[in-house]
Amino acid sequence: MTFSKVCEVSDVPVGDALQVESKGEAVAIFNVDGELFATQERCTHGDWSLSEGGYLEGDIVECSLHMGRFCVRTGKVKAAPPCEPLKIYPIRIDGSDVFVDFDAGYLAP
């Protein structure tokens, strides 16, 4: 696994999201009650930003384009119209630094 530093914990307030990029790939970092999760940045239905155009409630992000919902912990679809889950990425915290493995994104089983 190759982790890349993407931000600091303080860059992502509780209940918020941040878009980060590395190796030409955009990932959304979500802060759910102090726990960080990383998913693909774009909605699988409408190619819309989830970090900038989404609403996070608990561990569910809602895409503001067509109101599709995803669990940021698992990437699974929680409300249509999306049918495809989000890719999720391994994330690691070291002190105040946040690292993501951009090469190890996967779809949850």
pLDDT in tens, 75-90: 999 999 999 999 999 9
Alpha-carbon distance 39 to 54, whole Å? 13
Whose CA is closest to 38, among 81, 84, 93, 78? 93
Q: d(Cα 89, Cα 13) in Å, to the nearest integer? A: 19
Task: Give the number of other Cβ atoms within 10 Å of residue 109's Cβ.
Answer: 6
Lookup: tokens for 3: 């982790």
pLDDT at 105 (0 to 100) = 94
| Residues 1-23 pLDDT 10s | 799 999 999 999 999 999 999 97
- Cα angle at 93 between 105 and 86, to 5 degrees? 25
**Domain 4-104 superfamily per CATH:** Rieske [2Fe-2S] iron-sulphur domain (2.102.10.10)
Q: What is the dihedral of CA 53, 23, 70, 83, to 10 degrees?
A: 110
In the 8-state DSSP scheme, what is residue 3? -
pLDDT band at 101 (very low <50, low <70, confident <90, very high): very high
Residue 73's Cβ-count burial label (10 Å; 0-12, 13-18, 19+) is middle
